[in-house]
Structure 1
Amino acid sequence: MLTRTITSAVSVAALVLGCGLPADAQDKSGERSAAAKEYENPGFALNLLQRAHGPDEDAFVAQGELDPLIDPAGGGACASAVCADLMQALRVMAGLDRYPNPHKVALAAFRDQPALLKGRVSNEQLVRLIAFYQSYLGHAKVGVDVVSAPNSGYRTHHRTWAEADGPDLDVSPRKLKVLSYTVTGPTGAVLGRHFVLLKGAAKDHIDVVDPVKPGADRHYVLDFKPGEKEARARLFLNNPPGMPRTGGYVYEVNTVFTVSLLDEGELGKRPAPATASVESVNHLVDETARELKGTNEFLDPRAWRKRTAAFGLPGLDLPAEYGGSGWPAVKMVDVFRRAGWHNLNFRDVVGGAHVRPLLKSTNPDVLAVVRQVARGDGYVAIAITEPEAGTDIPAIKSTARKVEGGYLLNGAKRFNARLDQATHVVLFTQGTAGERGKLSAFVVPINSPGLTVERLQAHGLTGNSYGGLRFKDLKVSDGQLLGKDGEGMGIFFEHFLYWRLMQSAAAIGTGENALDQMAARLKARQAFGGPIGRFTHLQQPIGQYKTELRMAYALAREAAARIDRGDYGKETRALICGIKAEGVEMALRATDAAVRAFGGEGYSTLVDLGDRLRDLNGLRIADGTTDVMRMEVVRQTFGEEFWDMAAGPKK
């Protein structure tokens, strides 16, 4: 962050704002008119805001107005100010009035993300801040792409620009770019970095809106210098001829953030998420977990999804045409493992989760729900278990009766998660023919008339609610049927093979974290004149369970590769059911050993190991119990007769 020593203070202006866009900015048909298209140009939008900004009206937030709130050791508030100004420009570009009090929103951002008050903002934090402002853009949605300089010290795993070409500084409709440049002082010391909005660009110079003084343009001459290989690898910003020199300060561009306004139909065509690798997604999970630790949002899947939507996390494994990134299962197991390492509840914060069965539909309204989930707005629960039908899925009693224009659904569900958080639920019923095993699946808004949510208390996995449903004469349209009538069992098993695999990867991560805590405990805890780690009987479980969990994870990656090939056959089913059973049990044994190594502390809330045990016990039952999964391994490997001997109908 640019330090206060080289920023100029701007007095706090009145917070009264008025006027917005002309009435003709959008025509009556809802199509963007020629006037509206002009507003989509970032230069035009920023010009409009600059003309409105003045002593009596604040169209922008100036950095100096926020600097007093920032930790003096952390630099200035340029990142926070530039994102507030970005919001205003995006609103204009989207055909909306500018926000009446942007300072109030900037303060709300500090409350939502208190780490901003430290002043030093990473690339991930800036994208997360942009995601926060998403909720102030009405129905407009944005995508964020991050490209860094090859030598940037601020990048983690973002893409770098080609050294032969330099960064893309084109100014395009519906796209607004934030430039970050490193500030080096006369002595060669790096003072931090500064953020500006790109307003216009030519071959050799750019115009920017600087949050230090947003009401006036700032001009820079582009000065490309060679890197290790190519001539345009490094980009410096100089004052134009006739202007005072920068006083020995050096400005080098380190990152370009491209924020794109997306139409509903363009959501699947947006740039790949800024965090386009497993490593960077895991880094984002780590950082978000640290930020939310100790808050009410730590275990809240909806809060996580909303917060990380700009990075594309909710849609990682959803098709690109519906706003996702189309990640294969072999990459997703790595992410679920890392999420579970932090907390098993985080199995619900990445990927589409239970929206995936909706991909069986061709109904645009149903597929719109997939897009909502990818944007972080939607969340889908699934309800198949009933008071008298758990493992025996074909025995469910819920019914579907065909009526004109749709179906009437009647029944009850129990021991279902996510119902309080969900926007939609996938309901399974008997097919209309009533033939055992021929189930049907429907997607239903959670607030549908005739649908009642019931609540139970669970011992673990408390990030989601736990309870059941009752529905009487619940009317659904033909388009809410997923697949065909009677195909629900196949939809269920295909989805749950994938889901069980991902849950197992998360459980493996949960167990690995417990072992990490146990190893640290053995090093730190002193007893009988030395660290307790010298007792080899305490070391043995770490070696055993670490190896077991690694073996389980290797099998999980093998199963993921099978799914990516479209292999849902018996060998794959046996493999995944075995991983679900043994992966969870291994994680439980590892966590139990860690609890015992911590002694009385392990039985307290001073560490999270007790929560891990309860969560893993929940997963031992949920999505297929350990005992049934082991039976399924035998069934798929050695033949149906083994299942029939155990669970088949008695003659």
Structure 2
Amino acid sequence: MFNPDSLKLPFFDDSHRRLYADVKAWAAAALTNRVHTGSVDEHCVKLTRKMGDAGWLRYCVPAEYGGALQDLDSRSLCLLRQALGYYDGLADFAFVMQGLGSGPISLFGSEALKQKYLPHVASGKMLAAFALSEPDAGSDVAAMSTRATRTNQGYRLNGVKTWISNADIADFYTVFARVENDEAEGVTAFVVDANTPGLQVTERFDVCAPHPIGTLTFTDCEIPVSQRIGQAGKGFKVAMQNLDVFRASVGAAALGFAEAALDMGIARASSRKMFGATLADLQITQAAIGDMSTEIDASTLLIYRAAWERDVLKQRTTKSAAMAKMFATESAQRVIDRCVQLHGGLGVKVGHPMEMLYREIRALRIYEGATEVQQVIIARETMKNKTGEI
């Protein structure tokens, strides 16, 4: 579990320490099975409602609209995802989608949009989604082809979004489209209700760690001006600042996964008899545990440094959040792989929590910017700081 000494670091204040203790106790009692069977949609809706009732989703919106804190706090979001990820990857997914999907409204939305959506996000009564990726525009947002054409009443959306989490169960989608014949060219963000005519979920597909995901198709989908988030043509800024809030939290979820794997790995190695002793008595096992423990602590420092810089220093965290996301997800993959190995055949048995962790971690190295994209971001920011230009 989370090294208790980490909470003594100056990155945290007493409210963060209380939050972690409270969510850890709640998750231990409420999230008792990492492996879900049956309808993944039903599980996600149920988990969202459960976290809303418990008050955890209040950390996804500002206090004025039913939130727990005055502003979005990256450290709190990371602590919540770390604790949820330790117990249940699907609960972590359901939690972050509430924040990621509504974050643009919290950061840039009009007062009317905030009043309309955010209280229901905080209570878990409305499910949110974030629709940025397209078939030919994932990490390369500049390649976006979904169009928003200005009309007398507002905008008409046409295009396709894919790899959209919460597809078919979300009540609303934060959608990004390239504006045509508007007062400002560029990407613009909109809130599109799920029942808006012209919006269809045209595909659902399975991924290795099951969750609701699919493709949205917009065909002459009429959106009033009142549903626009922020200024026309400023949607790229909306998307990037939203991702800056949540990118470090991807690393925190991976950290929770890695801690769960290490705890299970140590328990298995300590009980597994081998060569007249236990697996844990072997020096090769101890070396692996030493490496994994160090990687977990290094991830912790990178994640909460990035979150602290955003919360306290109020500075851009493009580089530090990219480092945290990249290192924590990659190291969690290594930790989980080693712990699967410690479990032997049991570690790849479908339905075992260790096997579930092995599937859950893989997507985190891709979404919200693949590892290779983070490497480019880090390199460019580093060279910019060294040379003054890139």
Alpha-carbon deviations, 1:511-545, whole Å to 9, x = none? Answer: 11111111011111112222111111122122112
Q: Which of residues 316, 331, 340 in structure 1 aligns to 2:59?
A: 316
SS, match of residue 346 in structure 2 = coil
Which residue in 2 is equivalent to 1:280? 22
1:505 aligns with 2:247: no
2:154/2:222 contact within 8 Å kept = yes
**SS where residue 200 of structure 2 aligns?**
strand
Q: Which residue, out of 137, 152, 173, partners 1:404?
A: 152
Distance in 1, matches of 2:348 and 2:230, equals 48
The alpha carbon displacement at 1:331 in A equals: 2.5
Match of 2:164 among 400, 416, 422: 416
Q: CA deviation at 1:288?
A: 1.1
Q: Deviations over 1:89-133 (max 9, x none)?
A: xxxxxxxxxxxxxxxxxxxxxxxxxxxxxxxxxxxxxxxxxxxxx
Deviation of residue 566 (structure 1)?
6.3
Q: Which runs of 5+ in 2 are unaligned?
A: 1-16
| Letter of the structure 1 residue corresponding to residue 62 of structure 2 | P
Deviation of 1:312 after TM superposition, in Å, equals 1.4
Partner of 1:348: 93
Q: CA deviation at 1:368?
A: 1.6
2:240 aligns with: 493
**Could you tell me which residue of structure 2 aligns to residue 370 of structure 1?**
118
Distance 1:640 1:401 in 2: 39
- Deviation at 1:418? 1.1
Q: Are residue 613 (structure 1) and residue 358 (structure 2) matched?
A: yes
Structure 1 residue aligned with 2:141, among 393, 404, 427?
Answer: 393
TM-score scaled by length of structure 2: 0.87
Q: CA deviation at 1:639?
A: 2.3
Is this contact kept in 1: 2:23–2:83, CA < 8 A? no
Deviation at 1:560, TM superposition (A): 1.1
Q: Please tell me whether the aligned partners of residues 394 and 436 of structure 1 are also in contact (alpha carbons under 8 angstroms).
A: no
1:306 corresponds to which of 26, 44, 49: 49
Range 333-342 or range 304-313, more displaced: 304-313
- Aligned partner of 1:480 in structure 2 is 227
CA RMSD of aligned residues (A): 2.7
Cα separation, partners in 2 of 1:292 and 1:340, compared to 1, 3 Å: closer
Q: What's the secondary structure of 2:60's corresponding residue? A: coil
Q: Number of paired residues?
A: 368
Write the distance in 1 (CA, Å) between the matches of 2:175 and 2:301: 34
From 560, 563, 569, the counterpart of 2:307: 560
> 2:175 & 2:191 partners in 1: Cα distance?
6
Structure 2 residue aligned with 1:444: 192
Encode CA deviations 1:404-458: one digit per residue, 9 max, x unaligned.
1211111111122111221100110012358998210000111211011133433
* 2:382 aligned partner: 637
CA distance in 2, matches of 1:294, 1:387: 29
SS at match of 2:160: strand
Instruction: Name which of 471, 481, 490 aligns with 2:218.
Output: 471
Q: Counterparts in 2 of 1:448-597, with a 5 A limit?
A: 448-462=196-210, 464-565=211-312, 567-569=314-316, 572-597=317-342
Task: Summarize the Cα distance change of 1:630–1:375 in structure 2 as closer, same or farther, 3 Å threshold.
Answer: same
1:530–1:458 CA distance, 2 compared to 1 (3 A): same
CA shift in 2, pair 1:350/1:285, >3 Å: farther
TM-score calculated relative to the size of structure 1: 0.53
Q: Which runs of 4+ in 1 moved over 6 A?
A: 434-437
Output the CA distance in 2 between the equivalents of 1:629 and 1:461.
22
Structure 1 pair 321/436, CA: closer, same or farther in 2 (3 Å)? closer
Cα deviations across residues 477-525 of structure 1 (Å, max 9, x unaligned)?
Answer: 1110000111100000010111111111011110111111110111111
Displacement, 1:565?
A: 3.2
Cα distance in structure 2, aligned partners of 1:364 and 1:529: 69
State the distance in 2 between where 1:369 and 1:455 align. Answer: 26
The CA distance in 2 between the partners of 1:564 and 1:510, in whole Å, is 24
Work out whether residues 33 and 87 of structure 2, in 8 Å CA contact, stay in contact via their aligned partners in 1.
no
Tell me, what secondary structure is at the counterpart of 1:623? coil
The structure with higher relative contact order (CA 8 Å, sep 6+) is: 2
CA distance in 1, matches of 2:264, 2:180: 53
What amino acid maps onto 2:20 in structure 1? V
Cα distance in 2 between the residues matched to 1:278 and 1:298: 27
> Can you list the C-alpha shifts for 1:456-477, whole angstroms capped at 9, x where unaligned?
4333331x31211111110011
The counterpart of 2:79, out of the listed 329, 334, 356, is 334
Paired position in structure 2 for 1:289:
31
How many angstroms apart in 2 are the aligned matches of 1:436 and 1:414? 26
Q: Offset of 1:343 from its aligned partner? A: 2.7
